A and B are shown apart, each in its own frame.
Chain A
Amino acid sequence: MTETNDSSVVIQVKGLRKSFGDHEVLCGIDETIHKGEKVVIIGPSGSGKSTFLRCLNLLEIPTQGQIWIHGQEITGPKCDVDSLRQRMGMVFQHFNLFPHMTILENITLAPICKKGMTKTEAINKAKKLLDRIGLSEKADTYPNMLSGGQKQRVAIVRALAMDPDVMLFDEPTSALDPEMVGEVLNLMKELAVSGMTMAVVTHEMGFAREVGTRVLFMDSGIILEQNKPDEFFANPKHPRLKDFLSKVL
């Protein structure tokens, strides 16, 4: 089942296609993400970058193509998708915290259900994580008492509680007030520094330049260009990318 024996490969995508009805959103994507890479995906809206990210943990079922996570084919018939998902954290644009649970319960739910942790273990771990983002005193409050930035940081920590080895970020700062973007990006930077493998869909070019190890430009369902961040921003080759960068930078 393994496409490659290279153990540094975390995610491998081959010929990925996705259509919604007659509309083809992803038109054949091949991509390999190695351990420790921070891949930033940018592109105009509707270019398929979110769909691409969501295919990686099978929130969208690909129409065609194959995806391997740690050498296991997630698109294959016998894959235990739930257990693979436990190793891939995902952060959403709209946070998707569980509104009926306290912050602590949000973080401990999956570790208790899935990792067989006892309640006390999970709570201790959650408290440590909350400490790290400076929100310990919010542990017993409900999500709607937090600001957007706080919610998103809790969402990141909730994913981290499962000890994932990849983190997927789907426009994590797009729904935030401008003044709250910084705190979320800072947490993501910390995470990047700690060596986490990350795939980030974002419109934050500064983040892409500073944190990314590789930047992908997607347009109409394909990866048009990719490069190291310096080269990518200083020296774009494809006219579509030049046009895009001239508008957003």
Chain B
Amino acid sequence: MSIISDIYSQFYAAFDRTFLVDDRYQIFLHGIRNTLIITAGALVVGVIIGVALAVAKVYYYQTGPFSYKESFKNFLKTKRPIFLGHIFQKLLDQLITCYLILFRGTPVVVQLMIWAFVVFSTTNELIVAILGFGINSGAYVAEIVRAGIMAVDKGQTEAGRSLGLSAWQTMWHIVLPQAFKNVLPALGNELIALLKETSIVGYIAVVDLTKAAALVRARTFDAFVPLLCVALAYLLMVFLLSIIQQFIEKRLQASDRR
């Protein structure tokens, strides 16, 4: 009995030191808040970038591919602006490819520090973190969404265009909703990875959940309680996200029922 009560009282003391003394729980709350803000913000930025890049890339391969030389020759011959458009499309496609190589090929911590200390050395770190993670995540989302768009039957686009819808209307009303349904599991993965990846923002002096634990740990010299509690908090948040994901998937399955 005495061993158990001993452990209990020790744990209680550690808990007290970690959370209650000096209202330290507020650091954790502040950390959770930042973790969620960065994740949500980066998700929005990432999805906007990802969808835009995926659509641009798919559009290029549906209408092209073009060559600079041919397009330029055709432009000189016919003077039709569409050939300049082809040149621009090819350039854009290559820029997007560079973006994907760059942001998928370097560690996100390094990217984040470059944004924070090299590019924007003075601005609000929270916004830098949102942009940094969003731009990184956008590269992954682009490839996910591209796969989803390409999995939608070509006949869908043809049906849309044959009704007189523009390429953009067809993409927005017909292809993207179906693509979104295709990629929801992969997007869920990306979101979960993003949430956990934000645990490195301490590197650019943003106090997120992980950094909060580190700060408290440095005060109390106790690693056990803060780290375990933080791990548990991440686990809960991820668990919640996967429940939300399942819920959305179920709702989108309405059209699958027979």
Q: Give residues in A with beta carbon < 8 Å to B.
A: 57, 59, 77, 82-83, 85-90, 92, 94, 96-101, 109-110, 113-114, 142-145, 155, 158-159, 162
B36-44, B165-173, B186-194: which lies at the interface: B165-173
Contact B258 A144 (CB under 8 A): yes
A114 B165 Cβ-Cβ under 8 A = yes
Rounded to whole angstroms, the CA-CA distance of A89 and B252 in the bound complex is 29
Chain A residue at minimum C-beta to C-beta distance from B166:
A82
> Is A82 in contact with B165, judged by CB distance below 8 angstroms?
yes
Contacts of B169 in A (CB 8 A): 113
Contact with A along B156-170 (1 / 0, CB 8 A): 101111111110010
Binding site for A on B (CB under 8 A): 80, 82, 153, 155-156, 158-166, 169, 173-174, 177-178, 181, 252, 254-258
Contacts of B252 in A (CB 8 A): 100
Q: Identify the 4 closest CB pairs spanning chains A and B, nearest first.
A: A86-B164, A96-B159, A90-B162, A110-B163
A57 close to B162 (CB less than 8 A): yes
* Whole-angstrom distance between the Cβ of B139 and the nearest chain A Cβ: 27
In the assembly, what is the distance between CA of A83 and CA of B164, in Å?
A: 6
Instruction: Find chain B residues with CB under 8 A from A143 CB.
Output: 255
Given known A-B contacts A59-B162, A113-B165, A144 and B256 have beta carbons under 8 A apart: yes
- B residues near A158, Cβ cutoff 8 Å: 163
Q: Which residue of A lies closest to B180 (CB)?
A: A100
Whether B163 pairs with A98 at a CB distance below 8 angstroms is no
In the complex formed, the residue of A with least CB distance to B81 is A77
- Please name the residue on chain B nearest to A102 by beta carbon: B255
Chain B residues near A162 (CB, 8 Å)? Answer: 163-164
Q: Contact: B155 with A96, CB < 8 Å?
A: yes
Contact B155 A99 (CB under 8 A): no
A86 & B178 in contact (Cβ 8 Å cutoff): no
> 11 other contacts beyond A82-B161, A92-B159, A99-B178, with CB at 8 A cut-off?
A59-B158, A96-B153, A97-B159, A98-B156, A98-B174, A98-B178, A114-B163, A142-B255, A145-B257, A158-B163, A162-B163
Distance in angstroms from A145 CB to nearest chain B CB is 6
| Smallest CB separation, A157 vs chain B (Å) | 12
Cα–Cα, bound, A97→B155 (Å): 9
CA distance A31 to B178 in the complex (A): 38
Q: How far is the CB of B18 from chain A (nearest CB, A)?
A: 49
Q: Which of B82, B158, B173, B258 is close to A96, meaning CB atoms less than 8 Å apart?
A: B158
User: In chain B, what residue has the closest Cβ to A78?
Assistant: B80
B82 closest partner in A (C-beta): A77
Contact A85 B163 (CB under 8 A): yes
The answer to whether A109 and B173 have CB atoms under 8 Å apart is yes
Q: With A90-B162, A96-B156 given, is the CB distance from A77 to B80 under 8 Å?
A: yes
B172 CB, nearest partner CB in chain A, Å? 10
Contact across chains for A92 and B164 when beta carbons are under 8 A apart: no
CA distance A178 to B181 in the complex (A): 33
In the assembly, what is the distance between CA of A143 and CA of B254, in Å? 11
What is the minimal beta-carbon distance from B76 to any residue of chain A, in angstroms? 16
CA distance A144 to B256 in the complex (A): 7
Contacts of B256 in A (CB 8 A): 142, 144
CB neighbours of A100 from chain B (8 A): 177-178, 181, 252, 255
Counting chain A CB atoms within 10 Å of each CB, the highest count among B162, B173, B254, B255 belongs to: B162
Q: Are B257 and A142 in contact (CB under 8 A)?
A: yes
Min Cβ gap A150→B in Å is 13
Q: Is the CB of B173 within 8 A of A113?
A: yes
Cα of A142 to Cα of B254 in the assembled complex, Å: 8
Residues of B within 8 A of A97 (CB): 159
Cα A86 to Cα B162 with chains together (Å): 7
Report the nearest A residue to B156, measured CB to CB.
Answer: A96
The interface residues of chain A lying within 8 Å CB-to-CB of B163 are 85-86, 89, 109-110, 114, 158-159, 162
Report the separation of the CA atoms of residues A83 and B165 in the bound assembly, to the nearest whole angstrom: 9
Set of chain B residues within 8 Å of A87, measured between Cβ atoms: 164
Looking across the interface, which residue of chain B has its beta carbon closest to that of A86? B164
Q: Report chain A residues within 8 Å CB of B258.
A: 144-145
Kindly provide the distance from the CB of A198 to the nearest chain B CB, expressed in whole angstroms.
Answer: 15
**Chain A contacts for B161, CB-based, 8 A:** 59, 82, 85
A98 and B166 contact, CB distance less than 8 A: no
B178, closest chain A residue (CB): A100
Please give me the residue from chain B that is nearest to A142 by CB atom.
B255
B160 to chain A minimum Cβ distance, whole angstroms, is 8
Chain A residues with Cβ under 8 A from B173's Cβ? 109, 113
- Closest chain-B Cβ to A167's Cβ sits at a distance in Å of 11
- Highest count of chain B CB atoms <10 Å: which of A99, A144, A155, A162: A99
Complex Cα gap A161–B59 (Å): 28
| Closest beta carbon of chain A to B34's beta carbon, Å | 37
Q: Provide the bound-state CA to CA distance between A195 and B46, in Å.
A: 53
